[in-house]
Amino acid sequence: MIDEELIYDKIDTPIFRLIGEVADELGLETYVVGGYVRDLYLYRPSKDIDIVSVGRGIDLAKAVVARLGRGAHLAVFSRFGTAQVKQGDLEIEFVGARRESYSSDSRKPMVEDGTLEEDQQRRDFTINALAICLNADRYGELVDPFDGLGDMENLTIRTPLDPDLTFSDDPLRMMRAIRFASQLGFFIDPDTFAAIGRNAKRIEIVSAERIVVELNKILLSPRPSVGLELFEQTGLMAEVFPELLELKGAETKDGVGHKDNLTHTYKVVDNLAKVLNARGRQDGDLWLLWSALLHDIGKPRTKRFDRRLGWTFHNHNYVGAKMLPKIFRRLRLPLDGKLKYVQKLVELHMRPATLVDEGVSDSAIRRLLFEAGDDIDDLMMLVEADITSKNPARVKKYLDNYVIVRQKLKDIEEKDRIRNFQPPVDGALIMEVFGLSPCKEVGLIKDAIKDAILEGEIPNEYDAAYKYMLGQAEQLGLKPKQV
């Protein structure tokens, strides 16, 4: 049930009144439109304010800045016919109402001045085509020519015009339909859904950067599987992310089957999202979710059938980690520390399970701490999310085992300080003591000291490491230089 009084109160604010007054002085029919209005009716917070005037949007922005006075800043983008006003946390986009036309090889429209109706027709979805008037004589009046309000009540994503035309003109709208369905928990109208399938190949004219923005928002939605399944079902996954689609399907041989790894991946991402939602979102969550999405990406390339063992995916974690740079480059994902982080988690995601199977020894825990470093907690969240069995007893068994692993990690870290450790004797000291230049022997001694600490043969202390260095050097026929 929509509370019209509450909606009016949200619009009856000093900034909207000021914009309306300035618009009246300039004789401009003016509206707040799009996502801000949608979110008002969905009772969601929104900071993105878009203002459309039937006429000179840039002139309106200039006049509004003049009235706001000190602290207000104006940025004009003449090429796009838009202007942006900023004051403190306030950020408002101004544009004149327009109509658009497209060529078949570009999603960049040719723009002309238009009416409010034409401006609403060019919007991607009915729920984003709502407009509220700011002029004094009609202040607060909703203009909703495509029944966007009805679609919101029915939790429906639908295009204002023929969906084939809407998606052919700007294929990114197909990804946006999926993203809104995922973020809002809405359904895609059947005709709109079918049109995405018919136009999926048009996504090739959209830049990878734009597509990834939508993928990121899908991953950050409350239940990412909603968007990921739509991404698959519409045919867009086949065009954008074929490596992910290769995970789809369960195969049976000699009566032995394996699970559908794509469905499993959806569950892992959802499991992780649920934990992240509960703890409150943090900056690094997006890349942890990417790790979940990609954790089994190497399985199709490592799948084998062994008559004794059944289906195997040996080393899929290592193969998957090696696939990531190519995937990140193609999707224009960052090639910096974020790639290295995702690679690390993909490569290590089998290790905690192996620890449980082979026994949680101190040396194995030390090695895991050393290799995971500050990302050990994220790794444990990922491997816990990776438990998707339908057997409650099996799930409990694995989770109980991971409780043991977590306690061991805590105990060993407190005792041995292994996380991100650097051996107390480094290469520079080895070269100084034995009068060496960089050489193979220096590396051998360094590795021997590191392994001795990780195996628990010596404590992570300088004196013990120095003494061990002398013993290792002696075995290699090296003697300390005379001082």
Q: Judge whether residue 163 has pLDDT over 70.
A: yes
Domain extent listing, the chain: 4-153, 427-475
Answer for the pair 159, 182: CB distance below 8 angstroms, yes or no.
Answer: no
- pTM of the model as a whole: 0.84
Rg (CA), the chain: 29
pLDDT higher for 343 or 362? 343
- pLDDT confidence bin for 189, thresholds 50/70/90: very high
Distances (CA, A) of 400 to 180, 394, 403, 406: 37, 10, 5, 10
Q: What is the DSSP letter of 94?
A: E
Q: Residue 353 and residue 313: Cα distance in Å, rounded?
A: 15
Under a CB-based contact definition with an 8 Å cutoff, are residues 188 and 121 in contact? no
Residue-level pLDDT at 111 = 59
**Does 234 have pLDDT greater than 70?**
yes
Q: pLDDT grade, residue 483 (50/70/90)?
A: low
pLDDT computed for residue 348 by the predictor = 95
pLDDT digit string, tens, across residues 236-268: 999 999 999 999 987 777 777 678 899 999 999
Res 103: pLDDT: 58
Q: What is the pLDDT of residue 281?
A: 72
User: Percent of the chain beyond pLDDT 70?
Assistant: 94
**Whether pLDDT at 369 is above 70:** yes
Residue 1 one-letter amino acid = M
Residue 104 has a pLDDT of: 60
Per DSSP, the three-state class of 291 is helix
Q: For the segment 387-427, what is each residue's pLDDT rounded down to a tens digit?
A: 988 888 888 888 888 888 888 888 877 776 666 667 778 88
Region 166-191 average pLDDT = 95
**Per-residue pLDDT at 262:** 95
Q: What is the mean pLDDT of the chain?
A: 88
For residue range 467-477, list pLDDT tens digits in order: 888 888 888 88
Q: In angstroms, rounded to a whole number, what is the distance separating the alpha carbons of residues 374 and 379?
A: 10
Torsion of CA 466, 472, 474, 476, to 10 degrees: -140
**In this structure, what is the dihedral angle of CA atoms 393, 398, 402, 404, given to the nearest 10 degrees?**
60
What's the pLDDT at 249?
85
Q: What is the pLDDT of residues 92-124, one digit of tens each?
A: 999 988 876 555 665 565 656 788 888 898 899
pLDDT value, residue 421: 64
User: What DSSP element (H or E) covers 156?
Assistant: strand 156-157
10 Å CB burial of residue 145 (0-12, 13-18, 19+) is middle
Which is the CATH superfamily of the domain at 4-153? Beta Polymerase, domain 2 (3.30.460.10)
Residue 21 and residue 31 in contact, taking contact as beta carbons nearer than 8 Å:
no
pLDDT given at position 418 = 63
For 30-66, what is each residue's pLDDT tens digit? 999 999 999 999 988 888 899 999 988 899 999 999 9
Q: Give me the pLDDT at residue 420, please.
A: 60
Mean pLDDT for the stretch of residues 366-382: 88
